[in-house]
Structure 1
Amino acid sequence: MMRTQMLATVLRARPAVARAAPKFVRMSSSEHGQETFEAFTERYVTFFKNAEDLFEVQRGLNNCFAHDLVPAPAVVEEAVRAARRVNDFATAVRVFEGVREKVENKQQYQAYLEELKGIREELGVNTVEELYPH
């Protein structure tokens, strides 16, 4: 007997109750608690400290930057450290591009660059503006 015929026979032999869709309780999004900025920062700092490969770092960056806020400098620092730890210079540069897109104005971006100047120099990470001046 062919596999599809066997499967059809088994499905017909089962009682109708067994074929019914399972019942799941769906939690609505309003039931989730609001995460504070401090908890968000701590969660992503810990995440990037423990990231072991490029996929994990990039997944963390996508999730982090998907939120409607600008990550704290501590999160950006750990993200850059993680990108350099997995030996991906391009991702380290892209972290600063993400910050540039998330901030409201140029002054905020400059404040981030100033705050993170030490880590940029330590790890040898340039911004796109430094790599490709106009």
Structure 2
Amino acid sequence: MTRFVALSRPLAAAARVQVTRSALATRAAIQIRHYSADHHEESFEDFTARFVKFFDNVDDLFELQRGLNNAFGYDLVPAPSVIEAALKAARRVNDYPTAVRIFEGLKVKTGSDAIYKQYLDELAPLRAQLGVDTKEELGF
């Protein structure tokens, strides 16, 4: 199919440019960018270091919650050091409910009461220091 495109008003009557579908398709194909072509595999240690660094630099609630959404969005359970950094960030921005929600998210991500208990045992000194209880300890 052929499409006619006018160049300008004075030239519209005198000259028209034929543009075929293949020419339009070629022009559109040139502008396609492949952003997903440069993905690399991130090791668990790199993941942990990246999120510990992120939570160490958090200074407001929005950034904390955004980081938690990102950390819990992966198909893995964050390391205890990531949870520790997130709890310290929640304390730094003075948001107790988010600290409690960190443990709720951790319980869902672990999917096992035994693994969740191991996390609670490892984080017990920090929980005592920060005064953070779990949802179960609060009676919910």
Give the alignment's TM-score, normalised by structure 2.
0.77
**AA at the equivalent of 2:36:** S
**AA at the equivalent of 2:103:** F
Residue in structure 1 matching 2:125, options 96, 118, 128? 118
Q: Give how far 1:25 is off.
A: 1.6
Instruction: Report how many aligned residue pairs link the two structures.
Output: 116
**AA at the equivalent of 1:59:** R
Q: Aligned-residue CA RMSD in angstroms? A: 2.0
- The whole-number CA distance in structure 2 between the counterparts of 1:43 and 1:27 is 21
Matches within 5 A, 1:42-121: 42-121=49-128
Fraction of identical pairs, as percent:
53
Residue in structure 2 matching 1:26, options 17, 34, 41? 34
Q: Give how far 1:28 is off.
A: 2.9
**4+ residue segments displaced more than 3 Å:** none
Give the alignment's TM-score, normalised by structure 1.
0.80
Q: Which structure would you say has the larger RCO, counting Cα contacts within 8 Å and 6 or more residues apart? A: 1
* Structure 2 gaps, min length 5: 1-7, 10-26
Q: Which has the larger radius of gyration?
A: 2
| Structure 1 or 2: more helix by fraction | 1
